[in-house]
């Protein structure tokens, strides 16, 4: 049976699943490509970073990939707890769920992060680094590993300040923020190391009640910033209570069709899955979520 062993979770489990599903022939260690690294970051909490990290990890694991997650938020530990809740659900029920590997930091040393990241890059197909909503040294160090950076913003001018200051009337960019400078430094560091350019996506997340005029204003301001500091704007997820409800069971929107899951798939959940699929497609992860 394709069930995770209670101690060694995902790598072994996903390998077993890959063999069982027959969609991937075993690849020898020497032939393995290093993991693609996605960093989910900004310097503000509550924008949906950990929620997106978990959904991305599960989507990828469901598609048969090896996924690892590094949680750089020792205070909240949201993504770690999300995965722990998932493990608990697997233990308590008969629901079959792939579980992403969490690479846990024992302390907050940058050397330890480098060691964990290198191990994960070697072991996994995808490594997701979830960062705290604050400018810590560790978060800064985590950004250097990013091949793709995803910055979710709440859809408000308060959050836009995380990226740069814009003139209220014209949305002319006055100056980039500290975070935009951090990304700029990351880009320079990558170039110095001769690595591929960083792909940076900014998501307007938790889209909800803004009226049409305000939405338009946000779009204009984001376009101006995108051009100035060099990111691709992408539509994120809508504001929906389901995300809060799923956390405790460690489930994601992508698990609701699994046998044994006692949550009915509503119209709102299907719309949310479509948003997730559109988001992953926009950042280049096509076909990770099957059509509803
Ligand atoms: N699209 C969304 N709609 C509604 N609630 C959300 C959404 N995304 C995240 N949340 C909830 O908001 C809170 C903060 O989200 P989280 O992903 O932990 O943000 P961050 O990691 O940026 O601090 C959590 O309770 C989460 O369930
Ligand atoms: Mg978080």
Nearest of 179, 95, 176 to residue 131 by alpha carbon: 179
For the segment 114-119, the average pLDDT, to the nearest whole number, is: 95
Q: How many residues are given for the chain?
A: 292
Unique residue bearing structure tokens 């929620």: 51
The protein residue with its alpha carbon nearest to ligand 1, atom 6, reads 243
244 lines ligand 1 (CB under 6 A): yes
Stated pTM of the model: 0.88
The protein residue with its alpha carbon nearest to ligand 1, atom 26, reads 244
CB-CB neighbours of 266 under 10 Å? 11
242 lines ligand 1 (CB under 6 A): no
Instruction: Report pLDDT digits (tens) over 64-78.
Output: 899 999 999 988 999
* CATH code for the part of the protein at 37-282: 3.40.50.300
Alpha carbon of 25 to those of 17, 32, 274: distances in Å? 11, 12, 30
Distance of CA 34 to the CA centre of its chain: 18
Q: How far apart are CA 64 and CA 277, in angstroms?
A: 16
Please report the atom of ligand 1 found closest to the CA of residue 47: 22
The pLDDT value given to residue 15 = 37
Confidence of residue 207 (pLDDT cuts 50, 70, 90): confident
Q: Are 82 and 247 in contact (CB under 8 A)?
A: yes
The C-alpha angle with vertex 199 and arms to 197 and 200, in degrees rounded to 5, equals 130
133 lines ligand 1 (CB under 6 A): yes
Mutate to test the pocket of ligand 1, among 45, 46, 246 (most ligand atoms within 8 A of CB): 46
For the segment 77-85, the average pLDDT, to the nearest whole number, is: 96
For the segment 202-226, the average pLDDT, to the nearest whole number, is: 85
3-state secondary structure 168-188: CCCCCEEEECHHHHHHHHHHH
Q: Are 190 and 243 in contact (CB under 8 A)?
A: no
Q: Which range is least confidently modeled, 181-190, 216-225, 227-236?
A: 216-225
Please report the atom of ligand 1 found closest to the CA of residue 238: 1
For the segment 79-101, the average pLDDT, to the nearest whole number, is: 95
Instruction: Report pLDDT digits (tens) over 21-58.
Output: 333 334 455 567 899 999 999 999 999 999 999 999 99
Q: In this model, does residue 211 exceed pLDDT 80?
A: no
């Amino acid at each position: 049976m394709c069930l995770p062993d209670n101690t060694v979770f995902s790598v072994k489990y996903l390998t077993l699943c890959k063999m069982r599903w027959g969609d991937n022939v075993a690849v020898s260690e020497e032939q393995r490509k290093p993991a693609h690294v996605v960093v989910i970051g900004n310097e503000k909490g509550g924008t949906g970073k950990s929620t997106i990290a978990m959904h991305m990890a599960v989507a990828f694991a469901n598609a048969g990939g090896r996924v690892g997650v590094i949680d750089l938020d020792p205070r909240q530990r949201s993504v770690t707890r999300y995965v722990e809740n998932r493990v608990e659900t697997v233990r308590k029920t008969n629901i079959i769920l792939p579980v992403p590997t969490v690479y846990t930091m024992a302390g907050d040393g940058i050397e330890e992060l480098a060691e964990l990241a290198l191990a994960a890059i070697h072991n996994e197909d995808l490594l997701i680094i979830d960062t705290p909503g604050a400018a810590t040294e560790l978060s800064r160090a985590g950004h250097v590993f990013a091949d793709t950076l995803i910055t979710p913003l709440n859809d408000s001018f308060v959050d836009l300040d995380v990226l740069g200051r814009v003139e209220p009337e014209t949305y002319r960019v006055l100056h980039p923020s500290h975070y935009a400078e951090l990304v700029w430094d990351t880009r320079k560091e990558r170039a110095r190391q001769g690595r591929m350019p960083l792909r940076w996506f900014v998501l307007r997340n938790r889209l909800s009640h803004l009226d049409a005029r305000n939405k338009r204003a946000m779009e204009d301001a984001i376009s101006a910033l995108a051009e100035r500091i060099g990111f691709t704007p992408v539509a994120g997820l809508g504001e929906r209570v389901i995300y809060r409800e799923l956390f405790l069971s460690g489930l994601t929107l992508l698990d609701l069709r699994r046998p044994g899951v006692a949550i009915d798939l509503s119209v709102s959940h299907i719309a949310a899955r479509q948003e997730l699929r559109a988001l992953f497609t926009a950042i280049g992860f096509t076909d990770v979520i099957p059509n509803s």
